[in-house]
Structure 1
Amino acid sequence: MSATRQPHMGVRTLVLGIDIGTTFSGISYSILEPGQVPIIKSITRFPGQQEVGGDSKIPTAIYYDKAGIIRAEGASTALPTSVEQAGEEEWQYARWFKLHLRPPNTEGPEIPPLPHRMSVISVFSDFLRYLFDCAKTFIEETHPGGAALWRSMEDSRSIELVITHPNGWEGKQQNQLRDAAVVAGLSLITSDDAGHGRLRFVTEGEASLHFCIENGLMTEAIARGRGVVIVDAGGGTVDVSTYRLNRSLNESGKYEEIAPPQCLFQGSVFVTQRAYQWIEAHLAGSKFTEDVGNIAENFDTTGKLSFQGDEETVSVKFGRPGDNDPRLNIRSGMLKIPGAQVRAFFEPSISAIVAAVRDQCVSAHPIPVASVFLVGGFAANNWLFAQLQSRLEFLGVELARPDTHVNKAVADGAVSFCIDHHVSARVARFTYGVVCSQPYNPANFEHAARASKRYKGVTGLWMVPGAFDTLLKKGVQVHETTEFRSGYYRRDKDPGNLRRIEVEVLNYRGQAGDPRWVDAEQENYQIVCRVEADTRRLVKRRSDYYELQFDVVLSFGLTELKAQVAWKEQGVEKRGAAQIVY
């Protein structure tokens, strides 16, 4: 329990932290009782678990039958009876479905297809419902008067959900997760504003920071204000974030993000994917080609975990003792993979993590980075840890990992994010702005170069389209109360065209420090969202046209993007609600 956590001062509330990972998922929770210091606990009992003591993680997987009916979920998918029946009845296996939500143009492994005629939203909603039901059953069975406790939480609308997601996900992915929660029919998560307010999001990197603080992993160097890099190494993604403790913000101190966070698609499934490709090529044309999937699966659960170094040959059992082929290194039903080859399976992931940590240290300058904390399910791999420890030593940083429970860091951290709120500032990953037109100036060489694109506005002035008006630059530290705004106007002969505005917010992902024109690097601009608002009351009549003047006000400092439209009435600023559409 956090040493600085204060007693809860509000009403009784249940906070559920849900971590849907690529390969494994978990749930943590805290029942906030007035006047008591909150304690974070894990759900450790799920249907189908074979271990008596249970575990805080279960497979992120669902079996559907041919009719699309759920037949097994989570831990139940690993039961021998489920696997056997799935083969006999040709059930559809949904796994790695989290990666179907990843942003477009993102590198990643080949993703298993979704079950026939099912969308990623429907699969996510099914799994969210399963996790929510598991949490309900666990709390009802383990807490005194648990059924009455849960019922009172539902009746008083006092259940809050925090869902984690990779650092690289943005508003569109959050919106899809919210849609999945609504479709799942989770208690109190409805499609209205009140329902939306009971669901929050946090990046896996920030959730992992909260876990490290919660478990007392912060060092003296961090207490003195030096930076700490959090590496959350999971099944699909590796999320890398850097923070420092700033005690000047208040007496207890808050953490600030000091470098743009990164999201690497280099998690543990990538190691297995590279192993699969090698095994497939190695056994091509042999009688063992049908065993490729089984060998790769066994490598994932045994050989990958036990690997110690180049000199070691990894033996993966897959067949009968009589299965032998010396040419293919198959003896007694085992494929022997040279250690140097296994190292090659790991190398791209290790190199990418080291490069990301180096980038974080550079971006954090002049604040020195003292420590790197490795958490997440992939962090338990001893070869990964040993290699990172050796290579990061040259950067002058110390690598550490929790001695236990690295696989529940994100779920615990999600709950801590809600009740502790340790982070007060975040760093923009990209440059954000709006496309607009500028009055044509032939003396401006950028305008002259675009003379063929100019058009005549309703006032008779020539205008140049495609200018990028920056609202927020990449790398800028943003506090939660910071707003970014820019003023715009629109003119039209028909006032009906000005009664509602739609402003597209774009981000720029290129290398230019001051991007100015969209046509210069069109491939590096992506639409983040549209800000929509009712502006009928703002339309003004001019001589022979109508005009609309307004500011777009954006808040980037929270874990979700917020927007408003502002205008002046008799010198007084007014604000209206703006809807963000993805």
Structure 2
Amino acid sequence: MPITTRAPYDGTYRKLVLAFDVGTTYSGISYSILNPGEVPQIKGVTRFPAQEKVGGSSKIPTILYYDRDGNVRAVGAESMRESLRDTIEEEGWVKVEWFKLHMRPKSLSKSNSLEEIPPLPAGKSVVSILSDFFRYLYTCARTYIIESHGNGDQLWRSVESNIDYVLSHPNGWEGEQQQQMRRAAILAGLISDTTSGHGRIRFVTEGEASLHFCLQNGFKSDAFKIGAGVIIIDAGGGTIDLSAYGATSNSKKDVYEEIAPPQCHLQGSVYVTLRAKNFLQDYLKGSRFAEDIDAMSDFFDKSAKLAFDCSPLFIKFGGARDRDPALRIRGGQLTLLGYGNFSRISVPVS
């Protein structure tokens, strides 16, 4: 991997590159419009449906809702709207989240004993769900580019038949997982099922993608010295990826090369939440608060977990009448006294 600045695009016609980062819990889009002779600029999609008033949000929840007939009804931030709660319940929509983990290699599954990943809806495969999500990301990218650039409609028409895709995946994903992602792209209509169509997709590991970003934005100058190296840790929703690169030199240019096999562990943040839920089920077993565990787990995931350290944790779930001093519950809030209480949900060391 050369340690250089970007060179001007040497193609003969304008092209668009869309990069989809589909994460276990959150996803994002970046893009670059390649004009002959110009140095490419990488930009991010920072506005999505139902997030218009947020401003500058570069990611959306990796969530879909299907109705009883299997039709997509809400995706991303749209699925989180309070106005949909009654409709979801009344019409029996099915929530799909963490579906990316159903693609995990069997070798990785053995590294984690927790098998509480939400099941896929009846009649849906992980490829079909991923294709629906790809289709949504494509629509979001199209809308954003048209609305964010001068003469956006004309710009889009000039590139819509010349789009390449970059799809990121965890370090531990292999050929089988890449094939599933390719099939999803075909099913979503992003590419044709031909040799030329397949050639419009490039796969990149999350470790390598992070290195590219750091090379352009984050490294200090001494990190580029020959003999220096970097370790990249990508702690995501589903996996924790570790990559090690060293700066070397050949006859033409300085490069970064992998100096150790990349690692991928199914120990991402969703597993912290799953272990917390298991702990709460054990802790509150037989109490009248057992029915509130889902609400507690949801609050832990969205709030308490983000400030997790050895200090007490406060998990809100109910109202002022919810009280049981023996369980450290007061005013609808459960207090856990720090690290000792979570010793049973610590991440196993492999």
TM over 0.5: yes
Q: In 2, Cα distance between the equivalents of 1:5 and 1:276?
A: 46
Contact 1:5 1:37 in 2 (8 A): yes
Are positions 1:302 and 2:303 aligned together? yes
Task: Name the aligned partner's letter for residue 337 of structure 1.
Answer: L
Per-residue CA deviations over 1:297-319 (Å, capped at 9, x if unaligned) read 10111111122x32x21111100
Query: What is aligned with 2:50?
Result: 48
Gaps of 5+ in 2: none
Query: In structure 1, which of residues 24, 32, 35 is the aligned counterpart of residue 34 of structure 2?
Result: 32
Using the size of structure 1 for normalisation, the TM-score is 0.57
Matching residue of 2:179: 175
Following superposition, the deviation at residue 32 of structure 1 comes to 1.2
> What amino acid maps onto 1:286 in structure 2?
S
Alignment match, 1:344: 343
- Tell me the secondary structure at the aligned position of residue 36 of structure 1: coil
What percent of counterpart residues are identical?
51
Alignment match of 2:138 (pick from 132, 140, 144): 132
Structure 1 residue 227 displacement after superposition: 2.0
Structure 2 vs 1, CA of residues 342 and 167 (structure 1 numbering), >3 Å: closer, same or farther?
farther
- Count of matched residue pairs: 343
Describe the SS at the equivalent of 1:72.
strand
1:212 is matched with which residue?
214
**1:325 Cα deviation (Å)?**
0.8
Q: 1:117 to 1:199 in 2, by over 3 A?
A: same
Output the amino acid matched with 1:169. W
* Residue 151 in structure 1 maps to residue 148 in structure 2: no
Q: Does structure 1 conserve the Cα–Cα contact (< 8 Å) formed by 2:15 and 2:159?
A: yes
CA drift of 1:83 comes to: 3.1
Alignment-mate amino acid for residue 180 of structure 2: Q
Unaligned segments of structure 1, at least 5 residues: 353-582
User: Secondary structure of the equivalent of 1:26?
Assistant: strand
Q: Which residue of 2 aligns with 1:287?
A: 288
Aligned equivalents of 2:251, 2:150: Cα separation in 1: 41
CA distance in 1, matches of 2:53, 2:226: 43
2:189 maps to which residue? 185
Cα distance in 1, alignment partners of residues 296 and 141 from structure 2: 35
Matches within 5 A, 1:300-339: 300-307=301-308, 309-310=309-310, 312-339=311-338
AA in 1 matched with 2:82: P
1:142 match: 148
Indicate conservation of the 8 Å contact 1:266/1:348, yes or no: yes
**Cα deviation, residue 343, structure 1:** 5.2
1:5 and 2:9 are equivalent in the alignment: no
Distance 1:341 1:12, change over 3 A: farther
Distance 2:343 2:155 in 1: 52
Aligned structure 1 segments of 4 or more residues deviating by more than 6 angstroms: none
Q: Show CA shifts across 1:43-75 (max 9, x none).
A: 011111164314111000101111111111001
Cα pair 1:324 1:330 within 8 Å, conserved: yes
Show CA shifts across 1:325-361 (max 9, x none). 1111111000111211465377427x56xxxxxxxxx
Distance in 2 of aligned mates of 1:342 and 1:150: 55
CA distance, structure 1, for counterparts of residue 103 and residue 95 of structure 2: 17
Partner AA of 1:94 in structure 2: V
User: Which residue of 2 is the match for residue 578 of structure 1?
Assistant: none
| C-alpha distance in 1 between matches for 2:223 and 2:184 | 42
Q: How far apart, CA to CA, are the structure 1 residues paired with 2:30 and 2:248?
A: 28
> Hey, what does 2:248 align to over in structure 1?
246
Cα deviation digits, residues 496-548 of structure 1 (max 9, x gap): xxxxxxxxxxxxxxxxxxxxxxxxxxxxxxxxxxxxxxxxxxxxxxxxxxxxx
The TM-score normalised by the length of structure 2 is 0.93
2:276·2:345 contact (CA, 8 Å) conserved in 1? Answer: no
Q: 1:138 to 1:341 in 2, by over 3 A?
A: farther
Contact kept? 2:7, 2:39, Cα under 8 Å: yes
User: What is the alpha-carbon distance in structure 2 between the residues aligned to residue 263 and residue 314 of structure 1?
Assistant: 29
With a CA cutoff of 8 Å and minimum separation of 6, indicate the structure with the bigger relative contact order: 2
Q: Which residue of 2 aligns with 1:442?
A: none
Q: Which structure has the bigger radius of gyration?
A: 1
